[in-house]
Amino acid sequence: MPEKHVPKETCQSRKQHPSIAVYPGTFDPITNGHIDIIKRALQLFDKIIIVIAINVEKKPLFTLEERIDMINTCFANSSDCIEVDMTDGLIVDYTISKNAKAIVRGLRAVSDFDYEFQLALMNRKLERRVETVFLMTGFRWIFISSSIIKDAAKHNGDVSGVVPAHVKAALKKKFS
C-alpha cells in the first residue's frame, strides 16, 4: 500500500492557488547574483514578489523609485510571475498579507548562514505558516554583494558582468 506523504487536496489546491514566495532585500542595486536567485526561485514557485525592505538604519545609494525601476527593467518580460513591491514592516507580516508561503533567501558563504538562520528562526516563531527557503548563490556570483559593487563602481572599477548593463550605467551616473 503506498504511503501518504502529501494529502491529495494539497496537490489539487496548488493548481488553483499558485505558489508565491517573497524575496526581500535592499537591492541597492540589484546584482546578477540576485537575478540568479530569482530565476532559480521561479523553478520552485509560480510567482516571486521581490520586496524592497526599507531599513532606516541603511543609507541606500539609489532611491526607492530608482531601485524599483532597475528591478522592473530586469524582469520586463516576466510581469506574470514577478512583482516588485516595498515594505517597511516585518517581512513575515508582508508575506502573509500577499498570501505567500515562503521567504526566499540567498546564501553566498557559510558566514551568511549564521545570520540568515537566526532570522529564519525568528520569522518561524513569529509566523509558523511561513517557510524560509535558502538558495545558494551560483558559484560565479559568490563573491559579489551590492556593497562591494558600489565600492568598485565608486572607484571607477569595471562592474561589467556582475550587474545588468542598465544598473552599470546607473552606477556610473551616480558616481560621475
Does residue 133 form part of some domain? yes
The answer to the question of residue 106 being in a domain is: yes
C-alpha cell at 18: 499558485
Flag whether 70 is in a domain.
Answer: yes
Q: How far apart are CA 36 and CA 47, in angstroms?
A: 15
Write phi, then psi, for 132 (nearest 5 degrees).
-110, 130
Query: In this structure, is residue 165 part of a structural domain?
Result: no
- Domain containing residue 78: CATH number: 3.40.50.620
Catalytic residue among 15, 58, 59, 173: 58
Task: Kindly state whether residue 8 falls inside one of the protein's structural domains.
Answer: no
Residue 157 falls inside a structural domain: no
Nine-digit cell at 76? 520586463
Active site residue 58: yes
The pTM is what?
Answer: 0.89
| Domain total of the chain | 1
* Active-site residue (options: 47, 67, 146, 168): 146
Per annotation, catalytic residue among 34, 67, 105, 150:
34
- The pLDDT of residue 12 is 47
**pLDDT tens per residue across span 16-60:** 668 999 999 999 999 999 999 999 999 999 999 999 999 888 899
Q: What are phi and psi of 52, to 5 degrees?
A: -80, 115
Is 155 marked active-site?
no
Residue 28 three-state SS: coil
- Indicate if 34 belongs to the active site: yes
Domain extent, residue 26, equals 17-142
Q: What's the CA gap between 11 and 108, in Å, rounded?
A: 32
Specify if 160 maps to a domain.
Answer: no
